[in-house]
Amino acid sequence: MRALVVLALLACEVGGAPSFAGAQSSSAWILWEKYYTKKGTIETTTWEPQDGFEQLADCRKAAQQLLQFALDYMKSAGGKLLGPTQLDGRAAMFAVTESGVEKTYDIRYLCFPGTFDPRPRQ
């Protein structure tokens, strides 16, 4: 499933989007991926920065594009969408059966001010 994220990141890089390393310190808005998985009773949540933007509208547009890549990937892998996309097309939940075990995925692309880091503090 992490291939989904790599696929989305490659699509952004091919499109000429700046890398996050440079965007982190200088962008007004950072696009974050919140990725939740559940397999049986095991749940994991990760936050990954994706890119930086000067305008919130540009950040949200990129979020919608990444979600569309994710949805296309899930459809090609036989995934099943669990309800409608949310947050103006920037979030979705779906299920995939792998080796007879159903996994649930909830992927969200969220824009936060450049100075905010949503990852839990250790």
- The pair of structure tokens assigned to 21 is 């390393």
Domain boundaries, the chain: 26-113
**Is residue 37 within 8 Å of residue 1, measured between CB atoms?**
yes
**DSSP secondary structure string for all residues of 49-69:** EEEEESSHHHHHHHHHHHHHH
Least confident of 13-17, 41-45, 47-51: 13-17
Single-letter amino acid code for the residue at 43? E
Around Cβ 101, how many Cβ atoms within 10 Å?
9
**Per-residue pLDDT tens over the stretch 69-116:** 999 988 888 899 998 888 888 999 999 888 888 889 999 999 999 999
**Chain center to CA of 121:** 20
- Given a cut of 90, whether residue 34 has pLDDT beyond it is yes
Q: Strands 101-113 and 80-81: what pairing?
A: unpaired
pLDDT in tens, 12-27: 433 434 444 444 558 9
pTM value is: 0.75
Report the distance separating Cα 53 and Cα 32, nearest Å. 11
CA dihedral 77, 49, 52, 106 (to 10 degrees): 40
